[in-house]
Structure 1
Amino acid sequence: MTSSSVPLLKIENLRAAYGKIEALKGVDLDIAQGEIVALIGANGAGKSTLMMSIFGKPRAKAGRILFDGADITAMPTHLIAKLRIAQSPEGRRIFQRMTVAENLQMGADVCPTTDAERDAALERVLKLFPRLRERYTQRGGTLSGGEQQMLAIGRALMSRPRLLLLDEPSLGLAPLIARQIFDAIRMLNAQDGLTVLIVEQNANHALRLAHRGYVMVNGLITLSGSGRELLQRPEVRAAYLEGGRHG
């Protein structure tokens, strides 16, 4: 992990709503270059809304989102993506009728790249997820759930992101496949220095993976600390780690 005086991502007093329902009520969060940061909380706490608000959907009602020191709060979504912020969304949302190759190409098209950069990114993804190489010409809809998650992450990686947003990457996956996904995230961070914000229903895995974590309750950050510290907090253990329910 590296660090700098200016966080790569800084969120200040962020408020966002769906109609009259306020989903984010003044969120403060920051991520340093090279960190993995986990965001945990119960269903409906506002975690996915925070992820989506970074891309301007929903648009912030108040507060600021800063990326590498620049205010991107009001920036259009397509321009935010060109800053090399990439997201693997909840539910994967791959293009079911497109092949694995075509899905990955869509990821590469987000940001201008040279042929050499695109080829290098593709080889990196296929090395990270060998199953995608095996399924390269298959349609996305024919893949297993785990393979679709690998494809969703791979598509995001094709834009060579500086910041990767992962929303529930282990949701619905068998434990072995989920472990492979977490191992891949750890490798990307350790070898490439990739900065990651992960929302994850498996709080135990997320906090063991993360350098730091935040706990969100009803649209507000209520706790923060290192992953190890949060794993030891009794209120975190009671709410998210005991009894097999992670929210």
Structure 2
Amino acid sequence: MTGTGETLLSVRGVETYYGKIVALRGVDVDVHRGEIVTMIGANGAGKSTLMMTICGNPQARTGQIVYDGRDITAMPTHEIMHLGIAQSPEGRRIFPRMTVMENLQMGAALVDPKHFEDDLKKVFELFPRLKERIGQRGGTLSGGEQQMLAIGRALMSRPKLLLLDEPSLGLAPLIVKQIFDAIRELNKNEGLTVFLVEQNAFHALRLAHRGYVMVNGNITMSGTGAELLKREEVRAAYLEGGRH
């Protein structure tokens, strides 16, 4: 695919290993421009490994990853990050000793400084709580605020593709709703392409245009978010326990 085509990210036949252990087994995934695509699966299924492999660490042993018409399979992570991919990793990984403002400045380090004030304003409109905490150290924020900061920091790099790894993990339902509403808003208003890895299948599939199910490093199902929500296997494995 070229960058002028519909597909922004194409993953083909990707296998990733940790030592001799196979973590991804011939994974095929497409993310089209302007879409929200989600990957659901149990803890340890390989979802986060796929995110990290897209970002070049670890690198795919076999297969190909093409982003915006460029083969990035063997590229080092720092080069991939310069191409307009931003990641909000699992566990948030903000800079705990830096203030909210300093964290956001770190996110903007790779882009033209003339956009900084506009981008900062957008992040604060999306997450007003961050504006209230602007001088506070990241490590003293609540879990939900840290997640907002991790996403805000990623957005400051003006990405074409935002990778979100478990943004709802460990957060209260009300905060989860705020985070998912923000993702929806970014996609709808800014046209931002989002690839989302989630254990919270209910919220993720309701949000996503399309979804994939991963089991033990394999893609076992794919379809629209609505289709997967209706699938009996998905409901039994991921949606039992009172979600409605």
Which TM class, normalised by the smaller chain length?
Answer: over 0.9
> What TM-score do the two structures reach when normalised by structure 1?
0.95
Which residue of structure 1 lines up, in the alignment, with residue 112 of structure 2? Answer: 113
Compute the displacement of 1:6 (Å).
Answer: 3.9
Compute the displacement of 1:76 (Å).
Answer: 1.1
- Which structure 2 residues correspond to residues 158-197 of structure 1 after superposition, within 5 A? 158-197=156-195
SS at structure 1 position matched to 2:37: strand
Which residue of structure 2 lines up, in the alignment, with residue 33 of structure 1? Answer: 33
- Which structure 2 residues correspond to residues 1-247 of structure 1 after superposition, within 5 A? 5-109=5-109, 111-115=110-114, 117-243=115-241
One-letter code aligned to 2:125: K
**Structure 2 vs 1, CA of residues 87 and 235 (structure 1 numbering), >3 Å: closer, same or farther?**
same
How many positions carry a matched residue from both structures? Answer: 241
One-letter code aligned to 1:151: L
Say whether the 8 Å CA contact 1:98–1:140 is kept in structure 2: yes
Q: Deviation digits for residues 161-215 of structure 1, max 9, x if unmatched?
A: 0000000001111100110000000000000000000011110000000000000
User: After the TM superposition, which segments of 4 or more aligned residues of structure 1 sit over 6 Å from their partners?
Assistant: none
One-letter code aligned to 1:188: L
> What TM-score do the two structures reach when normalised by structure 2?
0.96
Gaps of 5+ in 2: none
**Structure 2 vs 1, CA of residues 180 and 28 (structure 1 numbering), >3 Å: closer, same or farther?**
same
Compute the displacement of 1:114 (Å).
Answer: 3.3
Say whether the 8 Å CA contact 2:111–2:158 is kept in structure 1: no
Distance 1:6 1:196 in 2: 14
Gaps of 5+ in 1: none
Compute the displacement of 1:244 (Å).
Answer: 5.3
What is the percent sequence identity of the aligned residues?
71
* RMSD after superposition: 1.3
Distance 1:133 1:20 in 2: 46
